[in-house]
Amino acid sequence: MKPAPFEYHRPDTVEAAVALLAEFGDGAKVLAGGQSLVPMLALRLAAFDHLIDIGRIGALCGIDHVDSRVSIGAGTTQATIERSSVMAEYVPLLARATPFIGHFQIRNRGTIGGSLAHADPAAEYPAVALALDAEFGIVGASGRRSVAASDFFTGLWSTALDDGDLLTDITFPVWSGRCGFAVREFARRHGDYAVAGAAVAVELDVADAVVRCAVALFGLGATPVRALDVERDLVGAPAVAMAPTEVGRRAVAMATSIPSDLHGSADYRRRVGTVVVADAWTAALEEARRE
């Protein structure tokens, strides 16, 4: 099938893009890498009179490391993140999540902003952003604002972005110290969205007690889920105090709306989720202990 007719706009600046979004209201949609939007248009699951292609806005591309933060332009491709030595060193959790996204052809076009704005509950980047307490920079008709990851994902494919808003940048804090990071997921085929997945970060002190940690789940609810209660119990205790399967079981118990679909029942996802969390927790701990 072919998309319904639309008018194509290609602004060069953030200001011009926001002005177009304001002018056309809910008849307009941002087009980034097109890897989620174009299939939806082609299948006529969605139709918009105006597509605002942000692919030529240079200000939306790039990775900027300053002190203890890394800011990434929303238009930065997933392939750029995958190849970036800055990302590998300072935000390894995001770097390690990237190869799980589709195939390299998709990552060559797909952007971090598109992935986060699309907010698929089984996608990797939203869970990483939630785990690391990323900040989302948004520009709309009334100016710029910042939204915490914990407030950004509001429901199934829904976010804090309003009509007329452009996601411009995402800022990640740099974790330093004896840290370990791991992403694990189970998908039916490599490149598919996850049936269940986990993104884990942990920092240990010299005695191997947990200083801080983050456990985020994907594929296990309408939004990514942060296992805050489990994190609270892990912090301050020796890393070995809770068995990995117990970390997995308790983290998955925090996912209260696990879907059932043709890829797996809720019960199946719960069991797979427990295993992937346990694997990710084990791998992150092993890395932190080596530091």
Task: Output the CA–CA distances (angstroms, integers) from residue 72 to 172, 248, 254, in the order listed.
Answer: 8, 31, 30
CA trace torsion 259, 261, 264, 270 (10° rounding): 10
Question: Mask of contacts with ligand FAD, 40-79, x by CB under 6 A?
Answer: --------------x-------------------x-----
| DSSP state letter for 84 | -
SS3 236: coil
Is there binding between residue 110 and ligand FAD (CB under 6 A)? Answer: yes
Report the distance separating Cα 275 and Cα 280, nearest Å. Answer: 9
Which one of residues 98, 111, 171, 223 is an interface residue with ligand FAD (CB under 6 A)? Answer: 111
Nearest approach, Cβ of 109 to ligand FAD (angstroms)? 6
Report the distance separating Cα 278 and Cα 252, nearest Å. Answer: 10
* 165: nearest Cα among 143, 135, 133: 143
**Nearer Cβ to ligand FAD, position 197 or 248?**
197
Which one of residues 102, 137, 219, 273 is an interface residue with ligand FAD (CB under 6 A)? Answer: 102
**Nearer Cβ to ligand FAD, position 190 or 290?**
190
Q: How many CB atoms lie within 10 A of CB 131?
A: 28
**Nearer Cβ to ligand FAD, position 249 or 269?**
269
**Nearer Cβ to ligand FAD, position 147 or 211?**
147
The secondary structure element, H or E, covering residue 103 is: none
Residues 187-206 that bind ligand FAD (CB under 6 A): 191-193
Residues that bind ligand FAD (CB under 6 A): 29-37, 39, 54, 74, 100-102, 106, 109-111, 113-115, 117-118, 120, 123-125, 161, 166-167, 191-193
